[in-house]
Structure 1
Amino acid sequence: MSDTLRQHAEALYATELEELKKQDSGKRPHNWLMSPQAVVTYLIGGKLKNGFEVSPKYIGSKRLMEIAVATLATDRALLLYGLPGTAKSWVSEHLAAAISGDSTRIVQGTAGTSEESIRYGWNYARLLAEGPSRQALVETPVMRAMQEGKIARIEELTRIGADVQDTLITILSEKTLPIPELNSEVQAAKGFNLIATANNRDKGVNELSSALKRRFNTVILPVPGTMEEEIDIVKRRVESFEKVMELPAEKPALEEIRRIVTIFRELRNGVTEDGKTKIKSPGGTLSTAEAISVVNNGLTLAAYFGDGRLTAADLAAGIIGAVVKDPVQDKLVWQEYLETVVKTRDEWKDVYRACRDLQ
């Protein structure tokens, strides 16, 4: 077990990646470590010809992953778009790991991300002492990816100011990064491409210019289509969390995960799973990622402040914290759901009592 709290995908799944490369007989684009078909198998999971099992990293439409991988084999960049918690960053990391063997060429987009974070910066001590030179230049992850022919990643692209976003236009259209101070440029090596993520809750914050949009092929990652898909995602991610954190707790019963996912899906969709009762939705997204967080938090409570067995009391605080983001409106929505839906389900009496106790 590694002492690293969170390993990069290429380290955590090194065995799977190595086995896929050994078994891969498909044609590989320049500088790719495996063929596009093998990359999709790594993402979706499956059994190889020698019986080796590849675990699924993305549970959902295989066609979406094929489109994403095919895009990266062209000269167009990839934009993964969707609601918060729909695995955009997760998919981005695994794509880079499978294609380049390196998911660390990443720029985290924020309101404070500057042009220098994407293009290049300067070591000002050397700049003042020696003047502009290649040695005084500070390379960014994007610049290194261009030189090495690897995948670069930009997280939360729409959180970055529009003027900074547009520094990508030349990089994506000309595959060149000009360095006017040195009367020079960096030309992208074959294999270079870029994956950006953006969530539609940020729509209108910093809209992409039409010129930049044309440089991207957009793949929209939806919320899990079925209850069973979402339960499977939560179960797998929670098991991974337990393993990394070495929690002295029992694996959560599938029924507890099902109840969390049911609550989140019903509140998110505004209707009960049987379609009989309409309910109000809170202001938050109630994403799959938040469901995973609620179960992980409950497991930690059970491990260190309980008997190691996950109960409704361990989950209640996490559920309320995820649902009630606005202390007035969301609280009313939650109380109505608790009294009209949760209370009426005989098998959910423990959830009802645990949540009522925290009101």
Structure 2
Amino acid sequence: MTVTVPGTESTDTSAAAGPTEAAGAAEALRPHAEDVFADELSALAAADDRPRPARWRLSPWAVATYLLGGTLPDGTVITPKYVGPRRIVEVAVTTLATDRALLLLGVPGTAKTWVSEHLAAAVSGDSTLLVQGTAGTPEEAIRYGWNYAQLLAHGPSRDALVPSPVMRAMTDGMTARVEELTRIPADVQDTLITILSEKTLPIPELGEEAQAVRGFNLIATANDRDRGVNELSSALRRRFNTVVLPLPATPEDEVDIVSRRVAQIGRSLELPELPEGVEEIRRVVTVFRELREGVTGDGRTKLKSPSGTLSTAEAISVVTGGLALAAHFGDGVLRAGDVAAGILGAVVRDPAADRVIWQEYLETVVRERDGWKDFYRSCREVTA
């Protein structure tokens, strides 16, 4: 017997939001991707004449265009959400059109969460069917739970059942997301095996099951660099098609990513635009890349790498913090002093070993670099 969970029927989110909904989205500190880029998604849907898989809002081609950016025939510019190899995006999108789930794998800060959110927004129009993985994530977060008042009053019933985001995605033919899959305990991870292989979720308490309908799929993100990681079982890993998201290939790509994301965050925080900030962004990216790779950009000097990942996401955080300092306590121009403390906090995670590595880098590389005297002085001030 197949059960349709009450309250999980799909709804049309393409209609314009009412005044209250629009105001709420405008006030949200971090609006969902489908709200921020609603105009782009609508323009793509109108121009998209290619075949769409069942219950997809866009064709695979349009989903890839939404992520990578482009210009539509009517002149609408689609901003890039991900800067990286096109083939990676194409493989990820194609995977979602098959019966295999998608695992986005990479070191911290490679935009796994960002890509998964935008994929769900473009495919299903809803990126909120999310399970956030932690060491305390229970099976109920992936399967289903119970309304205990109803359960005690009437026993197990459909009305007492509380569907998880994954269960709702199954019954509505939507895209579910599981973030930080490797942080979830191994026995809870394996709850996904039946869902992904049989496309069903047994409900033994009711003697029923929830069957996935066409359009359902799942995107998971994972990394194996952080502490507290639980390896995926081989049985579960086989249910996924794994796509590895690399770090930005070139300094120019990374500067572009940081600049775009900082501008978006700055607008959401209502910070004034700082037109002369590109040079400081380039310095932050250069420092992070050199320490991350263990060699200077010209390849002449070998460096020791600190314990942190020094990811693009951390560079975005450092520059955003500097942007706020420049706006509220500076002269409106992003300068070396605005980012120095943020860089120190990102690099020096181990107070003993990392501080020595950072000081050595300052003295042997930054001090001797033309045009970096102000940066060197600012970093020395906060390091001392």
- Same-fold status (TM-score > 0.5): yes
- Cα 1:203/1:353, change in 2 over 3 Å: closer
- Cα 1:252/1:158, change in 2 over 3 Å: farther
User: Does the 8 A contact of 2:63 with 2:123 survive in 1?
Assistant: yes
The aligned counterpart of 2:255 is: 231
Q: Please state how far the C-alpha of 1:248 moved relative to its aligned partner.
A: 3.3
User: Does the 8 A contact of 1:150 with 1:191 survive in 2?
Assistant: yes
Tell me the distance in 2 between the aligned counterparts of 1:57 and 1:306. 31
Tell me the distance in 1 between the aligned counterparts of 2:280 and 2:344. 15
The aligned counterpart of 1:220 is: 244
Q: Please state how far the C-alpha of 1:247 moved relative to its aligned partner.
A: 1.0
Tell me the distance in 2 between the aligned counterparts of 1:261 and 1:125. 54
- Cα 1:121/1:54, change in 2 over 3 Å: same
Tell me the distance in 1 between the aligned counterparts of 2:121 and 2:70. 18
User: Does the 8 A contact of 1:313 with 1:354 survive in 2?
Assistant: yes
The aligned counterpart of 1:65 is: 89
Tell me the distance in 1 between the aligned counterparts of 2:83 and 2:125. 22
Deviations 1:124-151 (CA, angstroms, capped at 9, x unpaired): 1110111000000111100111111000
Q: How many residues align?
A: 359
Give the 3-state SS of the residue equivalent to 1:280 in structure 2.
Answer: coil
The aligned counterpart of 1:162 is: 186
2:250 is the counterpart of 1:240: no
User: Does the 8 A contact of 1:159 with 1:202 survive in 2?
Assistant: no
Greater mean deviation of Cα atoms: 308-317 or 82-91: 308-317
Where does 1:1-359 land on structure 2 (aligned, <5 Å)?
Answer: 2-202=26-226, 205-248=229-272, 250-358=274-382, 359=384
Tell me the distance in 2 between the aligned counterparts of 1:209 and 1:121. 25
User: Does the 8 A contact of 2:183 with 2:228 survive in 1?
Assistant: no
Q: Please state how far the C-alpha of 1:308 moved relative to its aligned partner.
A: 1.5
Q: Please state how far the C-alpha of 1:346 moved relative to its aligned partner.
A: 2.6
Q: Please state how far the C-alpha of 1:204 moved relative to its aligned partner.
A: 8.0
Q: Please state how far the C-alpha of 1:200 moved relative to its aligned partner.
A: 2.2
Tell me the distance in 2 between the aligned counterparts of 1:185 and 1:330. 53
Deviations 1:278-325 (CA, angstroms, capped at 9, x unpaired): 111000000000000000000101111111111111110001000000
Deviations 1:12-39 (CA, angstroms, capped at 9, x unpaired): 0000000000000110000000100000
CA RMSD for the aligned pairs? 1.1
Deviations 1:220-278 (CA, angstroms, capped at 9, x unpaired): 00000001100000010011011111113523421111111000000000000000111
User: Does the 8 A contact of 1:249 with 1:309 survive in 2?
Assistant: no
TM-score (normalised: structure 2): 0.92
Name the aligned partner's letter for residue 60 of structure 1: G
Give the 3-state SS of the residue equivalent to 2:218 in structure 1.
Answer: strand
TM-score (normalised: structure 1): 0.98
Greater mean deviation of Cα atoms: 219-228 or 196-205: 196-205
Q: Please state how far the C-alpha of 1:205 moved relative to its aligned partner.
A: 2.6
Structure 1 portions without partners, runs of 5+: none
Structure 2 portions without partners, runs of 5+: 1-22
Name the aligned partner's letter for residue 232 of structure 2: L
Give the 3-state SS of the residue equivalent to 1:194 in structure 2.
Answer: strand
Give the 3-state SS of the residue equivalent to 2:103 in structure 1.
Answer: strand
Deviations 1:301-359 (CA, angstroms, capped at 9, x unpaired): 11111111111111100010000000000000000000000000130000110111112
